[in-house]
Structure 1
Amino acid sequence: MDNLKVVIVGAGMGGLTTAIAMRQAGYEVEIYDRVSELRPAGAGISLWSNGVKVLNRLKLGKEIAEIGGQMDRMTYVSKSGETLTDFSLHPIVETVGQRPYPVSRTDLQQMLLDAYGADQVQLNSKCVAVEQDADSANAIFEDGRRATGDVVVGADGTHSIIRSHVLGQSVERRYVGYVNWNGLVPASPDLAPKNSWVIYVGDHQRASMMPVGGDRFYFFFDVPLPKGTESQAETYREELAGFFKGWADPVQTLIQRLDPAKTNRVEIHDIEPLPAFARGRVAILGDASHSTAPDLGQGGCQAMEDAWVMSNALLTTNLGVADALKRYEAARKERTADVIRKARERSNMTHGKEPQETQQWYKELEHEDGTTIMDAISRTILKGPLR
């Protein structure tokens, strides 16, 4: 379809990727966000090859390669410091045809803003409702302004307002069962090799370091805790030192080296797979449509896949906007439901939902040569729209 106007609510990773894809498709694009300053949630993201392929198709391959980390190996280590398995990730690259690029979320968002035009994002625009008729759709903002287009895209995150319009009801998020602390530290060999993703495991907890651009590690700590456990930045270091007492020296060094003021603490939630992603001229994508636990590293990648599939659905049908958005929904609903379910299953195994399963996983890692892990990652990547 030609000459569409697309209104996008939300200027995070999914919204910006969608804006770039829609504009490259030849559509007029307006993008809005409720915040007064764009700051990404979280410190880093493991951008696997399916997400990178979307960026390649959007002519951003060179840019993502420049800000991405060089991740050549993957290593699991016991809490006492014994290597359980260590292997090259090169077979994944050979199988799927593209390197992964772990990246700082700030760098990724800036790259997308540069590609779209940061001055073209309309801030201080909190969407409170959506309306539509046979000919147009409107995003309505808190201050009374309205943005009218042929399509309204809800890229407004896990607490999405537009999701409620699409479904006709609100959706409660589900606590997955663990808390994640994450941030960035300078890369250093006393923490981990600079080209390896290193994960320490034990006691149903994890401590991880992954190389990102700028000679830094993206780190995270996972601890199963009851929902609503109180915490504040001033005590992060002491809390982590307690949770990871007796763990190997690099974990202790990381805890001492992190900056609590720049460390994020997140209670991890997901949502049940949704019955619909579109209603008439309105559609949702990214965390609005399939908020998932980060245990497969696929949240951002799925939002990028959404952007590509939606823009192509609009380009390749002449039966109208509603038809195109239903085709987008049909292409994405089961794919993203599968990611939600598998991320939840992996989270349960990793974080001791069934303690015997977690102990068995630790034992299996001692005999793992990387094949099983890489096969699972490759299968997830290759189910995407760009092979």
Structure 2
Amino acid sequence: MKVIIIGGGIGGLTTALCLKKAGFEVKVFESVKEIKPLGVGINTLPHSVRVLTNLGLQEKIAKTAVETQDLLYFNRFGQKFWEEPRGRFAGYKWPQFSIHRGNLQMLLFDEVQQTIGAENVFTNHHLQAFQETKHEVIATFINRETGEVIHQEKGDILIGADGINSVVRKQLYPQEGDPCYSGNVLYRGTTWMKPFLSGSSMVMIGSLKQKMVVYPIDPKLDENGNQLINWVANLKETDSEKITIRDWNRQADKARLVDIYKNWNFDWLDVSKMIDKTHAIYEFPMSDREPLDRWTFGRVTLLGDAAHPMYPIGSNGASQAILDADCLTEMLINEPDVQTALQKYDAQRVPETAKVVLQNRAKGPDQIMDMMDERFPVGFSENEIPYIELETVMNMYKQIAGFDVQSLNQKK
């Protein structure tokens, strides 16, 4: 069986590795001329690290990632109201990794080239359209700059893993329109600075009106004892110019952010100083799409952001794409009829990911930030923290997203 994968991001590359390991012929087509280590930090949760571990990649990832030890929530005054261990520190069989998105993508890209052969990975091949016959799918590719048709590929299956602006999804749903903008803009950057808290902590500060997420993404320290720290500022914005599709590479106004966060200076972290030391800051309008009723049409299906773009809340974007790859491969292994296998993949992953998309819209685990801000706008005392309510929210999200420790640890 031959599988055509459209998209060389984390989801597409992981799918290629899973399918090749299962014995399928795979070809990957990426629109850009050269795959480069773009983006900033992401987290891979234990349920997705399980998949990467089964591909033999855990040790390689660990060399360039931080194994996250704990997750802590603070209000805008720097008061802690929630703390929990993460990954293996919380009893999971697999770690949680904080890593530079570009490093993970390049690691997967190198692994894919070695595994399926560099001759089966095509860059600068932008999907123009596909057509399906009774027995195959035919994909037509163009040079994006010239519009010239440069290649046609035939396969048994076509997987659209080509992101939130997926060409595959647009052909399946031509009337869908643009992504849904949340009204929030993320500002993302990385800074070399002294480690904070445990040195492998992930922290959430503030509320969803003004939020800051901070965590290290490189296990190595430089000659001055500094660590590469990833940060994400989340602000409610009314500027209509910011209401656009996702763009990882649009730079933001550093001075404005330094001013907005000027009072967020705690004894364990100086937020404004961290922002000021950042070389480049990128704007990311927080967007998603409405969950679909189905991804699969005959021999064609969707995966990752092409299938279920979601708000980056709860560290589940890349992780859910990796879970898609694992599920799709399992269905193709166990079901000899291609179209039936894709329908079974649909039946499992469409409802599971829809729950995560909608839960992230409802603030996911971060709803505890707004809960505390609304109840205690000027701060709280230790005995006022509603631990049972907070624990209920956090545990519910783990169950919805598929990484509650009891269920996950039963898997291999």
- TM interval, short-chain normalised: 0.7 to 0.9
Within the candidate set 351, 354, 374, 1:359 is matched to: 374
Q: Which residue of 2 aligns with 1:98?
A: 94
Match for 1:173: what amino acid? P
Q: In 1, are the aligned partners of 2:190 and 2:231 still within 8 Å (CA)?
A: yes
Give structure 2 stretches of 5+ with no counterpart. Answer: 143-147, 221-227, 244-248
Measure, in 1, the Cα distance between the counterparts of 2:8 and 2:208: 38
Q: Offset at 1:212? A: 1.7
Q: Offset at 1:103? A: 1.0
Q: Offset at 1:87? A: 3.9
Q: Offset at 1:155? A: 0.5
Measure, in 2, the Cα distance between the counterparts of 1:19 and 1:90: 26
> SS state of the match for residue 80, structure 1?
coil
Across the two proteins, how many residue pairs are aligned to each other?
377
Q: Which residue of 2 aligns with 1:151?
A: 157
Q: Which shows bigger deviation, 227-236 or 339-348?
A: 227-236
Match for 2:374: what amino acid? Q
Within the candidate set 351, 360, 374, 1:343 is matched to: 360
Q: Offset at 1:207? A: 1.3
Residue 328 in 1 paired to residue 345 in 2? yes
> Could you report, residue by residue, the CA deviation over 1:168-227 in whole angstroms, capped at 9, with x for unpaired residues?
5434311112111112222513x5541211222157211121122244222111101126
Q: Which residue of 2 aligns with 1:108?
A: 104
Q: Which residue of 1 aligns with 2:138?
A: 138
Percent of residue pairs bearing the same amino acid type = 25
> Could you report, residue by residue, the CA deviation over 1:140-188 in whole angstroms, capped at 9, with x for unpaired residues?
1123221110111100100011012334543431111211111222251
Q: Which residue of 2 aligns with 1:75?
A: 72
Q: Offset at 1:371? A: 4.0
Q: In 1, are the aligned partners of 2:210 and 2:235 still within 8 Å (CA)?
A: yes
Match for 2:299: what amino acid? R
Measure, in 2, the Cα distance between the counterparts of 1:224 and 1:237: 17
> SS state of the match for residue 66, structure 2?
coil
Measure, in 2, the Cα distance between the counterparts of 1:141 and 1:255: 41
Q: Which shows bigger deviation, 31-40 or 296-305?
A: 31-40
Measure, in 2, the Cα distance between the counterparts of 1:177 and 1:351: 20
Q: In 2, are the aligned partners of 1:167 and 1:276 still within 8 Å (CA)?
A: no
Q: Offset at 1:240? A: 0.5
Q: Which residue of 1 aligns with 2:19?
A: 22
Q: Offset at 1:327? A: 0.7
Residue 378 in 1 paired to residue 384 in 2? no
Within the candidate set 283, 289, 301, 1:271 is matched to: 289
Q: Which residue of 2 aligns with 1:305?
A: 323
Match for 1:381: what amino acid? G
Residue 257 in 1 paired to residue 282 in 2? no
**With structure 1 as the length reference, what TM-score do the two structures score?**
0.88
> SS state of the match for residue 207, structure 1?
strand
Q: Which residue of 1 aligns with 2:171?
A: 165
Q: Which residue of 2 aligns with 1:236?
A: 253
> Could you report, residue by residue, the CA deviation over 1:218-238 in whole angstroms, capped at 9, with x for unpaired residues?
211110112634599776211
Higher relative contact order (CA 8 A, sep 6+): 1
Match for 2:70: what amino acid? R
Q: In 2, are the aligned partners of 1:227 and 1:267 still within 8 Å (CA)?
A: no
Measure, in 2, the Cα distance between the counterparts of 1:53 and 1:368: 30
> SS state of the match for residue 362, structure 2?
helix
Q: Which residue of 2 aligns with 1:211?
A: 216
> SS state of the match for residue 107, structure 1?
helix
Residue 117 in 1 paired to residue 113 in 2? yes
Give structure 1 stretches of 5+ with no counterpart. Answer: none
> Could you report, residue by residue, the CA deviation over 1:279-323 in whole angstroms, capped at 9, with x for unpaired residues?
0111110000000001121111110011111111111112x2111
Q: In 2, are the aligned partners of 1:68 and 1:103 still within 8 Å (CA)?
A: yes
> SS state of the match for residue 158, structure 1?
coil
Match for 2:79: what amino acid? E
> Could you report, residue by residue, the CA deviation over 1:43-70 in whole angstroms, capped at 9, with x for unpaired residues?
0111111110111122222222322213
Q: In 1, are the aligned partners of 2:252 and 2:283 still within 8 Å (CA)?
A: no
Measure, in 1, the Cα distance between the counterparts of 2:208 and 2:331: 46
> SS state of the match for residue 241, structure 1?
helix
Written as runs of structure 1 = structure 2, the 5 A alignment for 1:155-194 is: 155-167=161-173, 169-189=175-195, 191-194=196-199
Measure, in 1, the Cα distance between the counterparts of 2:51 and 2:172: 26
Q: Which shows bigger deviation, 207-216 or 9-18?
A: 207-216
Q: Which residue of 1 aligns with 2:246?
A: none
